[in-house]
Structure 1
Amino acid sequence: MLQEHGAVIGEEAHVRSSRPDGPRHDPEYPSEKLDTYDNLILLCPTHHTTIDKESGAAWSIEELQRMKADHERAIDAMTGAADLVTRDIQEVLAAQVALWERLAHVDEWQKLTACLNQVHPFIRKDVADDLFTLSTWLLQRRWPSGYERIVAAFEQFGNVLGCLLQLVGRNFEPREELLELPRGHKRIDWNPSLYTELLTDFNVKANVIWLLTMELTRAANLLITAVASELDPLYRMAEGYVLMQDGDAIFGSSVSRLEYAPTDIRSLPRPYSLAALMQRTAKELGGGDPRRERDVDHYAVNVAEWSEHTLET
């Protein structure tokens, strides 16, 4: 469906829902294929709502597949070879964006960031598993040419995510359905020097997690902007950008929309060294012991700059 200016007015609908209680959910369908082209269909918002009513009872998987195939044959008959290649690339990219949204838990971004930005950082195990899967998936990608901003944004997101998961994988411990940053200083008998060492280590890591969560939010919004610019002008027009939440019930919480300052896309993706970021954070915190009451203005930090290289000793 086209408007006069040529923008596609459509929504990506799933033939089979990923949710057990969702429209046309098929428990035998491979989960890794849920956000691929074969399981997606482009519909106008009205028809998207129509096919999903009453858990999709009125529209079967077979009917939607037939409708999609008939439409594709009609379009193919009117389209040149070069346009077909472009269409195929855009359809694959759209499916990859949908997969990114699901594995990154974009629709739960405030909850995800609120957990990581707690005084005692934690993350749900299922969310962490999805993020590790996403990180590997991003490393494997071979991107098409002609979508410079999208490719740079995906790679930027992957670099920041990889740095964050490096810290999570090395340091977080399981507790029931969660992974959390352990508070080693709370587990020892009285030992002032060891207590200071463990408290300092925890404080530095908690601050680094906060900085990387902020940077990952910027990278997510960079990708949203890139997709809207190069693939779908109406992408997330209703949902908008993702917001980061920090704080807690005791001291109060806030939400922020974080984005990179306008930059030359050729400067992306940026490298991130966890060791460098840990070292710079500890330095800015006066060593890292919170009892020294040295704070970092997280919102003023250039995380990429702090992550560039380790400091000379």
Structure 2
Amino acid sequence: MAIGSTARKVLWARSSNVCAFPECDQQLTVNLHDDGSKSLEAAGIPLGEEAHIISGSKGGPRFDPTYPAEKVDTYENLILLCPTHHRLIDKREGAGFTVETLRRIKSEHELSQRRQKTGQEKRDDEIELRTIAAIEAWADRADLTRWEGVTWKLNAPIQRLKESEIASFTQLGEWALTRNWPSAYPEIKRAFDNYSLILCDTVNHIRKSFQPIEGKEEIWEIYREYKHRLMSQDGYDAALKDFEYRSDVLCELSLELTKAANFVCDAVRSEIDPLFRFEEGALPHRVGDGVFSNTFTREEYGSAERDRTHPYPGKKAIEARVREQGGSSR
């Protein structure tokens, strides 16, 4: 587990980017783990460190085997410090600073910082925290940690989905469509509006094209009429062509959905959290049957697409692309 965006934002906002150690008052800069941060550090600019009050590692500072592992990287177990005081509290496995002492230091520091803020600053902090919390809720609902598995199911030679997965897609589409994003973050709002458009088109395409497999009602696939009744050769060819067309459109929609999701991640990093999915990187787009072929690609909008209000061109354009290509891009 790693420190999430919400925990990080709450910690930095309530600490006002200042070291929590008594009488330090060192103004801190976020470490983006990039060349710019290295240059700042080399120039003597202190980078903030999100220190753990209770270590998650056996033998670490103030390690407590009874402390829940899922709480180690949460806001309640973090304190913002400068590098000097982080090293100080962790010396000799943290023997000089108890858990209770660090919690008191953190609480007193955050209360002191809050008293110095204006009403508008407090409201701005709350909007920022609520926004990043909604973004983390999206990341969980969209299953970003398993994105390659999501796209693979939409790109397999025979696309099949569980009924519960279709329901999750539908619920996510409704959630995305009804979000109100603060005007303070115009790129995030634009990215989510774009994501909502492609997601709704994908859900509608699945709903119109899929039917439950006979005898396995919990599994759905694109309806193949030629498998369910006798028909002439011309009828068979037309039904097969219809199946392939619906399958290819879904493949193209999954590609566009990956672009849109990566566009959202870029907007979040640009406007609110530079470290959002920093370690995980871009969402991968997976194509293949998992046996004879298995390809991962990085799908993102180009500069011309990003210049449009909505980079996603719309389902009609996707359908035209499939017809022009004679199939999908897989």
Same fold by TM-score greater than 0.5: yes
Deviation at 1:5, TM superposition (A): 5.8
Deviation at 1:128, TM superposition (A): 2.4
Question: 163, 167, 177: which is aligned to 2:201?
Answer: 163
Question: 61, 68, 71: which is aligned to 1:56?
Answer: 68
Number of residues paired by the alignment?
A: 253
Matches within 5 A, 1:72-83: 73-83=111-121
Deviation at 1:145, TM superposition (A): 1.0
Query: Computing the radius of gyration over CA atoms, which structure comes out larger, 1 or 2?
Result: 2
Deviation at 1:245, TM superposition (A): 0.5
Task: For residue 202 of structure 2, give the secondary structure of its aligned residue in structure 1.
Answer: helix
Question: 19, 29, 41: which is aligned to 1:6?
Answer: 29
Task: For residue 87 of structure 1, give the secondary structure of its aligned residue in structure 2.
Answer: helix
Question: 134, 137, 152: which is aligned to 2:190?
Answer: 152
CA distance in 2, matches of 1:192, 1:245: 34
Give % identity: 23
Q: 1:137 to 1:53 in 2, by over 3 A?
A: farther
Does the 8 A contact of 1:153 with 1:268 survive in 2? no
Runs of 4+ in structure 1 over 6 Å off: 51-55, 57-60
CA distance in 2, matches of 1:47, 1:178: 47
Deviation at 1:143, TM superposition (A): 1.8
1:105 aligned onto 2:143: yes
Q: 1:243 to 1:59 in 2, by over 3 A?
A: closer
1:221 aligned onto 2:262: yes
Deviation at 1:58, TM superposition (A): 10
RMSD: 3.5
2:125 is matched with 87
CA distance in 2, matches of 1:154, 1:48: 37
Matches within 5 A, 1:3-42: 6-7=29-30
Does the 8 A contact of 2:211 with 2:220 survive in 1? yes
2:174 is matched with 136
Task: Tell me the TM-score normalised to structure 1 length.
Answer: 0.69
Does the 8 A contact of 2:256 with 2:312 survive in 1? no
CA distance in 2, matches of 1:162, 1:95: 23
Does the 8 A contact of 2:284 with 2:298 survive in 1? yes
Q: 1:248 to 1:271 in 2, by over 3 A?
A: closer
Question: 227, 230, 237: which is aligned to 2:271?
Answer: 230
Does the 8 A contact of 2:253 with 2:318 survive in 1? no
CA distance in 1, matches of 2:206, 2:51: 39
Residue-by-residue CA offset, 1:121-152 (whole Å, 9 max, x unaligned): 12233332222112112221222112111111
**Structure 2 spans left out of the alignment, 5+ residues:** 1-11, 19-26, 33-48, 57-62, 78-102
Q: 1:80 to 1:279 in 2, by over 3 A?
A: same
Deviation at 1:113, TM superposition (A): 0.6
